[in-house]
C-alpha cells in the first residue's frame, strides 16, 4: 500500500464512450502525475500537476483530458479513444520543494484500460 | 538528463546477493542516480538514490563509482518477491521528470 489509490483497476470501453480515471493520494503531497505504460514499452510521462496547476503536457492527444481539483485528487477524462490507447495508466504523487526527495514518487496500482 | 544503460535481464538464486549494474557515463555533477523497481502488474516503487556517496537503506545498497560514470544496486539477500524490472534513472536536481528506460528484468530463482 503506497498511499496512492486508483479507480477503477480495470476498464473496458468502446471508442465512442466517455469515461474517467480517478487517483487519490493520502500522503499530503503537492504534485501529481499521470503515466502511460503500453505493452513492452517504457513508462511515458503524460501530465504533471504541481500545486494543482498543470506544469507538463507531454504532447498528449486531446482525447485525454486531465483535471486536478485539489492536491489530493487527480482525474483523467477519456473520450473517443483508439484501440492503441489500451495500456496501464499509472498515477503518482510526490512532495515538491523537498529537494532531492522530489523524485521519490509514489505510484498507485494503475488502471488497466482496454479500448475495443 | 543523462542516459543510462542497463542489461536487459539478469537472474540470481534466492538468498544470494543481486548486483544490478547501470552505466551513466554522461552524468553531470548535479545529477542524482535513482533506482525504482516495478513488480509485475504494479506501479513502480522507489528503492534508493544517491549523488556521490554510497547509500544504504532497508531495501538495498547503492554503490556509485568515484568518477560517477556507473553504479550498482545491491539487493543483499534476494527473495522471490524481488523478481521485478529495475530502473536506473539519472535526474538533475531541478527536474521532476522521471524518464524510464527499459530497465533490467531480474528473475530470482528458488
- Please confirm whether the linkage preceding B4 is cis (ω < 30° from 0): no
CB count, 10 Å around CB of A53? 8
Which of B8, B5, B24 minimizes the C-alpha distance to B92?
B24
CB contact under 8 A, A96 and B102: no
A110/B43 Cβ within 8 A: yes
pLDDT for residue A95: 86
Chain A partners of B93 at a C-beta cutoff of 8 Å?
99-100
A108 touches chain B (CB under 8 A): yes
* Nine-digit cell string for B76: 543483499
All residues of chain B having their beta carbon less than 8 Å from the beta carbon of residue A29 are none
Residue of B nearest to A4 (CA): B43
Phi, psi values for residue B80, rounded to 5°: -60, -30
- Selecting from A42, A45, A109 the residue whose C-beta is nearest the C-beta of B43 gives A109
Look at residue A99 in the predicted model and tell me its pLDDT.
64
One digit per residue, the tens of pLDDT, for chain A of length 116 reads: 789 999 999 999 998 889 999 999 999 999 999 999 998 788 899 999 987 777 777 789 999 999 999 999 999 999 999 999 999 999 999 887 766 665 688 999 999 999 99
| pLDDT value for B80 | 96
Per-residue pLDDT of chain B (110 residues; tens, 9 = 90+): 568 999 999 999 999 999 999 999 988 888 889 999 999 888 999 999 999 989 999 999 999 999 999 999 999 999 999 999 999 998 876 666 788 888 999 999 99
Which chain A residues are closer than 8 Å to B32 by Cβ? 100, 103
What burial class does residue A90 get, using C-beta atoms within 10 Å of its C-beta: 0-12 exposed, 13-18 middle, 19+ buried?
A: buried
Q: Is B43 on the interface with A (CB under 8 A)?
A: yes
pLDDT at A56: 73
CA distance B103 to chain A (A): 8
CB contact under 8 A, A110 and B96: no
Interface test with A, best of B40, B43, B84 (most A CBs within 10 A): B43
Counting one residue from chain A and one from chain B, the pairs whose CB atoms sit within 8 A come to 55
Distance of residue B43 Cα from the nearest chain A Cα, in angstroms: 5
Task: Give the count of alpha carbons within 13 A of B90, CB side only.
Answer: 23
Q: What are phi and psi of A84, to 5 degrees?
A: -70, -5
Amino acid at each position: 500500500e503506497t498511499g496512492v489509490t486508483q479507480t477503477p483497476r480495470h476498464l473496458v470501453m468502446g471508442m465512442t464512450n466517455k469515461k474517467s480515471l480517478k487517483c487519490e493520494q493520502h500522503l499530503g503531497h503537492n504534485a501529481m502525475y499521470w503515466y502511460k505504460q503500453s505493452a513492452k514499452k517504457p513508462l511515458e510521462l503524460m501530465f504533471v500537476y504541481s500545486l494543482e496547476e498543470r506544469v507538463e503536457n507531454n504532447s498528449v492527444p486531446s482525447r485525454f483530458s486531465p483535471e486536478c481539483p485539489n492536491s489530493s485528487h487527480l482525474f483523467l477524462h477519456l473520450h473517443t479513444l483508439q484501440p492503441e490507447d489500451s495500456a496501464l495508466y499509472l498515477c503518482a504523487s510526490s512532495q515538491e520543494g523537498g529537494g532531492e526527495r522530489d523524485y521519490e514518487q509514489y505510484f498507485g496500482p494503475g488502471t488497466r484500460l482496454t479500448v475495443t | 538528463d543523462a542516459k543510462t544503460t542497463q542489461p536487459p535481464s539478469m537472474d540470481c538464486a534466492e538468498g544470494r546477493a543481486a548486483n544490478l549494474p547501470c552505466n551513466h557515463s554522461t552524468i553531470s555533477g548535479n545529477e542524482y542516480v535513482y533506482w525504482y523497481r516495478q513488480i509485475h502488474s504494479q506501479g513502480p516503487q522507489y528503492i534508493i538514490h544517491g549523488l556521490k556517496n554510497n547509500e544504504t537503506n532497508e531495501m538495498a545498497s547503492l554503490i556509485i563509482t568515484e568518477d560517477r560514470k556507473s553504479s550498482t544496486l545491491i539487493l543483499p539477500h534476494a527473495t522471490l518477491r524481488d523478481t521485478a524490472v529495475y530502473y536506473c534513472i539519472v535526474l538533475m536536481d531541478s527536474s521532476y521528470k522521471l524518464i524510464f528506460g527499459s530497465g533490467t528484468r531480474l528473475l530470482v530463482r528458488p
